[in-house]
Amino acid sequence: MKTEKTRFTIGRERTCDIPIADDSVSRLHAELSLLEGDKLFLTDCHSSNGTLLLRDGQSRRITQEIVRPTDHIQFGNVVLPMADILSSISGRRPAAGHKTPNPETRPPAGAKVVRCECGAIKPEGKKCPACGI
């Protein structure tokens, strides 16, 4: 995984690198750091509903943890595979010829957003700006 950025924010706030549109997720819920040797370090940012690591059929609340690409992470009531989080991060860099969406294509403040099949966040009932579905 090649990327310039090494820290990614996860939370309900639309400005997070990985936004999660769910009320059980704190505005700034967690931070994922990419360390040397392809290690992944996840930190809970004092979230209201906690961050849980789901590994080998066990779940436990974490504050800081080295995580694996095969793990699942629960942010509030939302469970995401680390593989999906990592693919979201690697997709943060625009590909050659990729057009960045105009600010007016973003949903208005307070609009309900959902996660598309491709993993991007889109306004409910609208086409995804990333994949067009």
* Per-residue pLDDT tens digits of the chain, which is 133 residues long: 454 789 999 999 999 999 999 999 999 999 999 998 889 999 999 999 999 999 999 999 999 999 999 999 999 999 999 999 998 887 654 443 344 444 445 555 666 777 777 666 777 788 777 677 7
Residue 37 φ then ψ, to 5°: 75, 25
CA–CA gap between residue 78 and residue 94 (Å, rounded): 27
pLDDT digits (tens, 9 = 90+) for 76-100: 999 999 999 998 887 654 443 344 4
Is the alpha carbon torsion for 96, 102, 103, 109 positive or negative?
negative
